[in-house]
Amino acid sequence: MKIYNNPSRANWPSLLQRPAKDLSNLRASVSSIMQSVKEGGDATLRELTARFDKVELGDLAVDAETIAAASDQLSPELRKAITLAKQNIERFHLAQQTKPEEIETMPGVTCWREARGIEKVGLYIPGGTAPLFSTVLMLATPAAIAGCGEVVLCSPPNRETGEIHPAVLYAASLCGVTKIFRVGGAQAIAAMAYGTESVPAVYKLFGPGNAYVTVAKQLAQLDGLAIDMPAGPSEVLVGADAGAKASWIAADLLAQAEHGADSQVVLVVDNEEQAEEVKTEVERQLAELPRREMAGASIANSMILILPERKDQLDYINAYAPEHLILSMEDARAFAHGIQNAGSIFLGYHTPESVGDYASGTNHTLPTYGYARNYSGVSLDSFVKKITFQELTEEGLRKLGPAVETMAEAEELKGHALAVTVRLADLN
């Protein structure tokens, strides 16, 4: 990891950059894949699965028997852990429900909002370098709470077995998802965007993926489909004080680095000695990681900043807007009051980012690449839309109507004014 000792603010722009990844060169090929799925349906999905995943598929859907049998393929410890995580995620997202509150904006005029679950949602669960069954819990749990009528899940089949990992199937069944399809990549996004003979079309897409999936979601959005948020490689920023143990900090950095070669990790400390100690510890722990090659590539894109002043630390963190922010500090809560931009914050020495990835209850689908400046992570609200209501009594129309007539006339929208005028005339 590169160490930057108290860099001037003039040099900060270069220290806020993520590893560059130009996706424009993928647009043509991804667009071609999506168009072919749109036109060819299931047959094209089978052809693309054979080409990219090296799996020959018959039925694209996972049958009920296979889903039910997934439980027996997992250890009791893993089933128990998944169940615990689901309970915590459910508890946290249930608390996000709101009851409609009727507001009388003036006598006789009542307004309120009600939430409605998005009727059809699609969940994409990657299955490449790791089976992300935790993402199933993060997406399917709030979808169920929101009351989404149809939940469709796509995940690529394993090259050896031709099946989806049993942990993904178990997590899906735990959340009530039954429409599961062995399809991955851009073709899965196309299938859920446009629909095929087997895969239903949805109204909104959720889930992470590789560069092809990211571009496919962008193109689907251009076609009118909603998506959860713009996505980039995963990242973490750790802010640590003198009380933070180097081995703990290093483990937090490497936990994120092992996501992928294009992930970035950043450490902010206030002294050179601690920076060097963590750097040494990262190198030691990296050598012992099974995914050390991937994590090592990420570490090469990463850095340690020595910023002696607390205000500089705070300003840099807000400018970087990390997906995950670990505040390994004694006064983490106090420091966090100044944070404006972050996807999810982990407070104190005993809160590794891993707990949020799996089981604390918060959602791990978060804005990356600086989008935490203007996007929130996935929540219950991501799966609902809010409908506004208004109801006027005769008194309300008499009091509000003249103002509406005046405003409509000023905008030269006579029809708008007339809708009020005819009613007031009859009332009078």
- What are the pLDDT digits (tens) for 256-300? 999 888 899 999 999 999 999 999 999 999 999 998 999 999 999
What torsion do the CA atoms of 33, 229, 341, 129 make, to the nearest 10 degrees?
Answer: -50
User: Does 120 score more than 70 pLDDT?
Assistant: yes
Assess whether 167 and 194 both reside in one domain: yes
User: Does 380 score more than 70 pLDDT?
Assistant: yes
Which residues are known binding-site members for substrate? Answer: 234, 256, 259, 324, 357, 411, 416
Handedness of CA 147, 148, 149, 154 (dihedral sign): negative
Assess whether 208 and 305 both reside in one domain: no
Handedness of CA 185, 187, 192, 193 (dihedral sign): positive
Q: Domain count for the chain, please give it.
A: 3
337 touches 358 (CB < 8 A):
no
26-82 pLDDT, tens digit each? 999 999 999 999 999 999 999 999 999 999 999 999 999 999 999 999 999 999 999
The answer to the question of residue 388 being in a domain is no
**Mean pLDDT over all residues of the chain?**
96
316/357 Cα distance (integer angstroms): 24
- Average pLDDT for residues 157-182, to the nearest whole number? 96
The answer to the question of residue 6 being in a domain is no
pLDDT classification of 91: cutoffs 50, 70, 90 = very high
- Average pLDDT for residues 144-160, to the nearest whole number? 96
Assess whether 372 and 256 both reside in one domain: yes
User: Does 84 score more than 70 pLDDT?
Assistant: yes
Assess whether 118 and 236 both reside in one domain: no
Domain that holds residue 280: 232-376
Q: Which residues does 207 contact at the CB level (< 8 Å), separation at least 6?
A: 122, 123, 124, 125, 126, 135, 139, 213, 228, 365
Q: Could you give the percent of the chain with pLDDT greater than 70? A: 99
For the annotated catalytic residues, the residue numbers are: 323-324
| pLDDT score for 129 | 61
Which residues are known binding-site members? Answer: 124, 187, 210, 234, 256, 259, 324, 357, 411, 416
The answer to the question of residue 165 being in a domain is yes
The answer to the question of residue 172 being in a domain is yes
Query: CA separation (Å) from 236 to 157, 368, 391?
Result: 30, 9, 48
Minimal CA–CA distance to 232: which of 261, 262, 257? 262
Assess whether 269 and 196 both reside in one domain: no
Q: Which of 141-150, 237-246, 257-266, 320-329 has the lowest mean pLDDT?
A: 257-266
Angle between helices 166-174 and 133-146 (to 10 degrees): 20
User: Does 197 score more than 70 pLDDT?
Assistant: yes
Assess whether 113 and 84 both reside in one domain: yes
pLDDT classification of 128: cutoffs 50, 70, 90 = low
Which residues are known binding-site members for NAD(+)? Answer: 124, 187, 210
- Average pLDDT for residues 232-252, to the nearest whole number? 96
Which residues are known binding-site members for Zn(2+)? Answer: 256, 259, 357, 416
Assess whether 222 and 238 both reside in one domain: no
55 touches 45 (CB < 8 A):
no
